[in-house]
Amino acid sequence: MRLYLVLLIQFTLFLTSSEAIAKSKVINPENIIQQNSQLALESILIKHQQTTGEAISVVISNKDHSDKNLLNNSSTQKEALLILTPNNNKVKFHFNYLFEANHKSNSIEKKIDDFYLDAIKNYRPSDAIVLTVTTLLKLIESPLVLTGKANEILLKNNVKLTPQKNSLFGSIISWLLFLICSLFFAFVIYGVLFPQIHYNSNKFKKLYFYDYIKLHIGSLIAKSTPEESNLESHYGYW
Amino acid sequence: MDIGKKIINVINKTQKETGYDIQVYVSQSLLEKDPVKSAKKVFSFYEMNLYPQSILIYINKRNRKFTFICNEEITKKVSRSYFNTLSEHFGEDLLSTRLERALLILLTTLQITLPKKPSLNYEQQDLA
């Protein structure tokens, strides 16, 4: 009976502690990331803590918390805090000395920051944040990411990380614009380098790009003139 | 004298002596497939179609093609074979000399041959 009581107390203690962890893992007061993404991240971070003992929390807020150190340095647990401020694309990574002992944490912040800036260009903000957190776990060699369990949790929570379609569309548009501009430039250069020459009884005139365009537009307007049908052509080559 | 000015002088003389309005257009377009089409555009752009005695000599320097555009009344007057022989000789001149010189020869030929016998049969005439 005693044994049962002890086990019951231990189980309730475990449940309450894990509940406490679960509540504090992803702080998303402004609902910047979707509910399913938040749940997926929370369960990934909880499992990471259970397997490695590293407590990583994520704060997603447009209010700037980067100057404050929100970590308790007297803690006996390995702790890290990732702060993401999507409105100014800032990433801050805080960690205590126990966490630092295990990882080269100074370079992590720079890498995460670079990754987040890239991700935000190609993905929706919510997806970019999820990707940034999983990349952080990859950098600290979390067994969850290395074994692919993190991906399984994401899929279970219906989190699909697909690049934004409009970024591809935007790149196509910019390439097309570049092509049109370079073609126009090439035409101008061509017109300048190889002018057409017109001789009549009074003068001879070199026709550059502008005249060339004028000639073709002028002829398009005058296309319907009936006189053209009376014309005879005598063709030759050399 | 500059060869461009020489060409203008010959055109001017031909116009005064024959009454034909002769204009020359030298194109350097690589993309041009049909010189006749482009020549007709030039013909209407310079409003040569308003004057029935107009002759346009259109040359594409890059594609090595040329064409004479005129009103069909002129072809009826001068005969089609006149222009065929003219084309043949002009082609030969272009092969043997520079374009401007060949053009001068052609214009001088027109100056000499057009006024004298516009209504005669040119098949028997030696244009050279």
Q: In this complex, do B71 and A232 lie within 8 Å of one another by their Cβ atoms?
A: yes
pLDDT number for residue A1: 56
Kindly determine whether residue A199 and residue B46, on different chains, have CB atoms separated by under 8 Å: no
Q: What is the 3-state secondary structure (H, E, C) of A157-211?
A: CCCCCCCCHHHHHHHHHHHHHHHHHHHHHHHHHHHHHCCEEEECCCCEEEECHHH
For range A38-67, the mean pLDDT? 84
The dihedral region occupied by A88, where left means phi > 0, alpha psi between -120 and 50, and beta the remainder, is alpha
A143 and A64 assigned to the same domain: yes
Picking from A197, A218, A231, the nearest residue to B72 by CB comes out as A231
Confidence of residue B87 (pLDDT cuts 50, 70, 90): very high
Q: What is the largest CA-CA distance in chain B?
A: 39
Domain boundary (A163, A187, A202) is at A163
* Residue B121 included in any domain: no
- CATH number, position A54: 3.10.310.50
* A191 & A153 share domain: no
pLDDT band for A65, please (50, 70, 90 cuts).
low
Instruction: Indicate whether A55 belongs to any domain.
Output: yes
Q: Judge whether A68 lies within some domain.
A: yes
A84, A190: one domain: no
- Same domain, residue pair A180 and A197: yes
pLDDT, position A117: 87
Give me the residues of A, 179-218, that contact B with CB < 8 A: 194-204, 215-216, 218
Region A94-123: mean pLDDT is 81
- The span from the CA of B72 to the CA of B83, in Å, is 12
The answer to whether residues A42 and A156 belong to one domain is yes
Overall average pLDDT of the A200-224 stretch: 71
A128 assigned to some structural domain: yes
Q: Is the pLDDT of residue A210 over 80?
A: no
Tell me how many domains chain A contains.
Answer: 2
| Domain at B75, CATH number | 3.10.310.50
Within-domain flag for B124: no
Lateral strand order in the sheet of A90-95 = A26-27, A54-60, A78-85, A90-95
Q: Is residue A237 part of a domain?
A: no
Looking at the fold, whether A76 and A28 belong to one and the same domain comes out as yes
A71 and A96 Cβ atoms separated by less than 8 Å = yes
How big is chain B, counted in residues? 128
Cα B22 to Cα B103: distance, rounded to the nearest angstrom: 12
**Residue A119: predicted pLDDT:** 86
Among B66, B63, B67, B69, which residue's Cα sits nearest to residue B32?
Answer: B63
* B29 occurs within a structural domain: yes
CB A77 within 8 A of CB A48: no
Complex ipTM, two decimals?
Answer: 0.79
**How much is the CA Rg of chain B, to the nearest whole Å?**
14
| Chain B: residue whose CA lies nearest to A207 | B27
A50 in the same domain as A135: yes
pLDDT for the residue numbered A68: 54
The predicted structure's pLDDT at residue B55: 92
Structural domain for B88, as ranges: 3-115
Within a domain: residue A235?
no
How far apart are alpha carbons A82 and A60 in whole angstroms? 8
- In the three-class reduction of DSSP (H, G, I as helix; E, B as strand; rest coil), residue A70 is classed as coil
Within-domain flag for B120? no
Digit-coded pLDDT (tens) for A139-149: 888 888 888 88
Are A59 and A25 within 8 A, CB to CB? no
Burial of B110 per CB tally in 10 Å (0-12, 13-18, 19+) = buried
Nearest to B46 by CA among A200, A57, A171, A206: A200
CB A136 within 8 A of CB A41: no
Segment A16-41 mean pLDDT: 72
Q: Looking at the domain assignment, is residue A16 inside a domain?
A: no
A165: confidence class by pLDDT, cuts 50, 70, 90: low
- Listed as own residue / partner, the contacts of A201-210 with beta carbons closer than 8 Å and 24 or more positions apart are A201/B8, A201/B11, A201/B12, A201/B15, A201/B21, A201/B22, A201/B23, A202/B8, A202/B12, A203/B8, A204/B4, A204/B7, A204/B8
Residue that wins the pLDDT comparison between B105 and B72:
B105
With a cut of 80, say whether residue A23 has pLDDT above it. no
The pTM score is 0.50
Mean pLDDT score across all residues of chain B: 84
Mean pLDDT of B53-76: 90
**Do the Cβ atoms of A225 and B49 come closer than 8 Å?**
yes
Q: Which domain holds residue A210?
A: 166-226
Across the interface, whether the CB atoms of B8 and A237 are under 8 A apart is answered no
pLDDT over 50 at B120, yes or no? no
pLDDT interval class at B105 (50, 70, 90): very high
The answer to whether B28 contacts A215, with C-beta atoms less than 8 Å apart, is: no
Q: Is residue A232 part of a domain?
A: no
Q: Same domain for A147 and A33?
A: yes
- Highest mean pLDDT range out of A61-70, A183-192, A204-213, B55-64? B55-64
The answer to whether residue A22 scores a pLDDT higher than 50 is: no
CB contact under 8 A, A236 and B67: yes
Domain for residue B110, yes or no? yes
| Same domain (yes/no): A105, A46 | yes
Average the pLDDT over A18-45 and give the result. Answer: 76
Residue B109 lies inside a defined structural domain of this protein:
yes
Q: Are residues A47 and A140 in the same domain?
A: yes
Report the phi/psi class of residue B81: left, alpha or beta, with left for phi > 0 and alpha for psi in -120 to 50.
alpha
Number of structural domains chain B divides into: 1
Tokens standing for residue A180:
């049109």
Strands (E), B46-127: 54-60, 65-71
Query: Between A199, A218, A222, which is nearest B7 by CB?
Result: A199
Last residue of one domain, picked from the residues A141, A163, A185: A163
Query: Encoding tokens for residue A209?
Result: 């790009």
| pLDDT for res A16 | 46
What confidence score (pLDDT) does residue A179 get?
A: 93
Mean pLDDT, residues A26-38 taken together: 86
Say what the pLDDT of residue A11 is.
53
Q: Which two tokens stand for residue B94?
A: 């272009």
| Predicted local confidence at residue A8, as pLDDT | 60
Contact A201 B12 (CB under 8 A): yes
Whether chain B has a CB inside 8 Å of the CB on A221: the answer is no
Higher confidence at residue B62 or residue A226?
B62
Considering the domain architecture, whether residues A194 and A136 belong to the same structural domain is answered as no
Q: Could you tell me if residue B126 is inside a domain?
A: no
Percent of chain A clearing pLDDT 90 (strictly above): 3
Rounded to an integer, the average pLDDT of A60-67 is 72
- Per the domain annotation, does A213 fall within a domain? yes
- The predicted pLDDT at position A55 comes to 87
Same domain? For A87 and A58 the reply is: yes
Domain presence at residue B77: yes
Asked whether the predicted pLDDT for residue B97 surpasses 50, the reply is: yes
Helix (H, G, I), strand (E, B) or coil at A124: coil
Res. B23: pLDDT tops 90:
yes
